[in-house]
Chains A and B, each alone.
Chain A
Amino acid sequence: MTITIVKSAPYLAVQDLGRRGYRDVGVPASGAMDPVGLAAANVTAGNSLGAAALEWALGGGSIRFDAPCSFALAGATADALLDGAPVETGVRSLANDGSVLEIGGFPTGRFLYIGIAGGIEAPEVLGSRATYLPAHLGGWAGRLLKSGDVLPIGKHRDDAPRREFRAPADLGLDYSQRTIRVVRGPQWDLFSDGDREIFLGETYSVDAISDRTGYRLKGLPLATEIGSMPSEAVCPGTIQVPPNGLPIVLMADAPTVGGYAKIAVVASSDLPLLAQLRPGEGFRFQEVPVEEAQRRRRRMAASLYTIQTLAVVQGHGEFLAEPWPSS
């Protein structure tokens, strides 16, 4: 079983939940920008939540299924047509041999996930199939997908789960939420009271110059001059404040270490929401204790497991115990 990229998009790549275990030699977590979207696409399609899927951003294109199979869309909403008929997000759809899935505009969000029953069988590199472009690691030859690429799809336990399945609307994630929860960062105390007030009161938006490494924020700059400090570990969600005072939120492909002060870190339950924000969409940060961020993380993992279990019970999903990875 394979799929063919008929017409690629400016950004289309194979992603999973990222790499673990090599941070000490500088290998970032990478993986899906919205890991909950990827997991939702997978479990709805009948996979375990960390299977390799397509991450799609920035505009239209199409893929062809070279055998009958099931798939599901999640994350951003997209105008999607399967052989001309509209495809709903969060619902298992059945493709026939030769079916073409066309992706058009994105009414909401930034990253669309296409989970395909069986998962994309790209080779694992350092324990993951995630594409990390700066070092050409993983994914499909370490690069973005091109028109004409043919990707192998793994053999699903049931060959292809043919029964319909609709994921519950509540994934524990509300993409319309415009409050992003953060935990105080290691250098929170170095910022002035005034700066902390600005940080938690300002309506920020994501700058257009943002990518998988980091989202630059637009808004009122912070004034505290901390300068650079000895580098130490950072992770996706870390909010660094460079000398110009405008925070940068590190995202999936962020380096493993950084030398700017870290005012806060986005809760992993809310990082997918931030990842899906488009330039100009306003949001605010809300400080929560680390215990609450951890509670929300556990709740989110539990709801994904519930969907995975439902998918098994209602439609021949594949149940594999698989850990929800760290940030």
Chain B
Amino acid sequence: MSWGNPTAHALGDSAITVSFTVESTKEVTARIRAIGAAIRASRIAHAEEVIAAYTALTVFYDSLHVSYEQMSAEILTKCGEASGTEPATEGREHRIPVEYRGPDLDSVAKATGMAPSEVVEAHSAVWYTVDLLGFVPGFAFMSEIDPRLELPRREQPRPRVPAGSVAIARKQTGIYPFDTPGGWHILGRTKVTLFDPNREEPSLFRAGDRVKFEPTA
């Protein structure tokens, strides 16, 4: 039997989500990412895009030319073949300069019983892994933050969080690439451009990349 006992579900008429019967952990996410990469590399006819997530991966396909039955069988076969391979060494490393003067730094310090300087230290001490991109182009969900910093999302999301805001919620941290609404706690800000359609690779981050934040004076 394949790793994680994968089962296929239709996600509408033009996508297939394969769910793995597993708890979401760092290792599981890395393995699903590796399976997703193997599916991408295998160039299944009429398969168009792959999104590897925490406990599932999804393949978008051209349903004018291939049926659900045929495509799901092919994908499950690939999942079986790929499940033996060990996850590749993790992606690129990025060091992101951050000015830690975010509007929520003090409230996070208060809620966690830490000094603001300790919050900054805890947040910037860790190499995070990009688990998944989404929400808006280039937004990376990164884990895992210091357990002392874990807080639920803000009760009142902000209608506008400025681009470059570095924020935390629950076990994750992320950077807002554009001015958007947002409910995470903003610790600081970076000037790095996260998404630029004119770059050869528009998104700075890819799933699997590792990211460390560096406080600027």
Chain A interfacial positions (CB closer than 8 Å to B):
20-28, 125-126, 134-137, 183-186, 230-235, 237-238, 255-258, 262, 265-269, 290-291, 293-294, 297-298, 301, 323-324, 326-327
Contact = CB atoms under 8 A, between A and B. Distances in A.
Interface string B109-122: 00000000000000
Contact of B137 (A135, A265, A323): A135
B39 to A, nearest CB: 12
29 contacts: A24-B49, A25-B195, A26-B139, A27-B137, A28-B137, A135-B178, A183-B10, A183-B13, A184-B10, A186-B9, A231-B134, A231-B141, A232-B55, A232-B57, A232-B58, A235-B11, A235-B12, A235-B14, A235-B60, A256-B51, A257-B53, A267-B13, A294-B13, A297-B13, A297-B14, A298-B63, A326-B48, A326-B49, A327-B14
Residue from A26, A265, A293, A324 having most chain B Cβ neighbours under 10 A: A26
B17 A233 contact: yes
B67 A294 contact: yes
Contacts of A231: 53-54, 132, 134, 141
A230 B53 contact: yes
B64 A297 contact: yes
Nearest to B19: A186
B13 A290 contact: yes
Contacts of B132: 231, 257
Contacts of A137: 137, 197
Contacts of B9: 184-186
A257 B11 contact: no
Contacts of A24: 49-52, 133, 206-207
A149 to B, nearest CB: 21
Contacts of A25: 133, 137-138, 195, 202-203, 205-206
Contacts of B206: 24-25
Nearest to A324: B64
Given A24-B49, A257-B132, A294-B63, A326 B14 contact: yes
- Chain B interface residue number, banded: 35 or more
A186 B17 contact: yes
A255 B52 CA distance: 15
A232 B135 CA distance: 11
Given A26-B133, A26-B195, A267-B13, 6 more contacts: A28-B137, A232-B58, A238-B12, A255-B134, A257-B53, A268-B13
A48 to B, nearest CB: 16
B62 A126 contact: no
Contact of A290 (B10, B51, B54, B202): B10
A327 B54 contact: no
A262 B11 contact: yes
Interface string B124-143: 00000000111111110100
Contacts of B60: 23, 235, 326-327
Contacts of A230: 24, 53-56
B6 interface: no
Contacts of B195: 25-26, 135
B64 A298 contact: yes
A190 to B, nearest CB: 11
Nearest to A267: B13
Interface string B141-156: 1000000000000000
Given A23-B51, A235-B15, A326-B62, A257 B67 contact: no
Contacts of B135: 26, 255, 257
A257 B180 contact: no
Contact of B136 (A126, A134, A234, A290): A134
A266 B12 contact: yes
Nearest to A297: B13
A122 to B, nearest CB: 13
A35 to B, nearest CB: 12
Contacts of A135: 136-138, 177-178, 195
A70 B177 CA distance: 40
Nearest 7 CB-CB pairings of A with B: A257-B134, A233-B58, A230-B54, A265-B12, A25-B203, A186-B9, A293-B13
B100 interface: no
Contact of A291 (B11, B12, B67, B203): B67
A51 B137 CA distance: 24
